[in-house]
Amino acid sequence: MGADTGSGLLADIELEAILQFGSREMTLREVLQHACGDVVELDRHESQPVDLVVGNRIVARGQVVVSNGNFALRVTEVAAPQLRLESVACRS
């Protein structure tokens, strides 16, 4: 079985894709103290690209845009094909 055939078998599998803007560690006490309208600062500067994460791996990076009234990602960088394939590999 060639590499193309193996990749083809995976093409129709649905995966959860997450846009990761940044992160921040907080205690449960800090989380519970938040109210509507509070702002939580992240560890990423606004000019840095956001990450498209699939299977706990970054597969692409880009800019957040609005498309037809919805948030979207304009991809500016894509991970190498082998890294993207590894991110969807089955784990035992």
53: CATH: 2.30.330.10
d(CA 62, CA 52): 8
pLDDT, residue 46, reads 87
What domain range includes position 42?
A: 16-87
Provide the number of structural domains found in the chain: 1
Residue 1 domain flag: no
pTM above 0.75, yes or no: no
The tokens for 77 are 């960088």
pLDDT, residue 1, reads 45
pLDDT < 70 positions in the chain? 1-7, 82-92
**What b-and-e string marks burial along 27-53, b requiring 16 or more CB atoms within 10 Å of the CB?**
eeeeeeeeeeeeeeeeeeeeeebbbbb
pLDDT, residue 27, reads 97
Residue 42 domain flag: yes
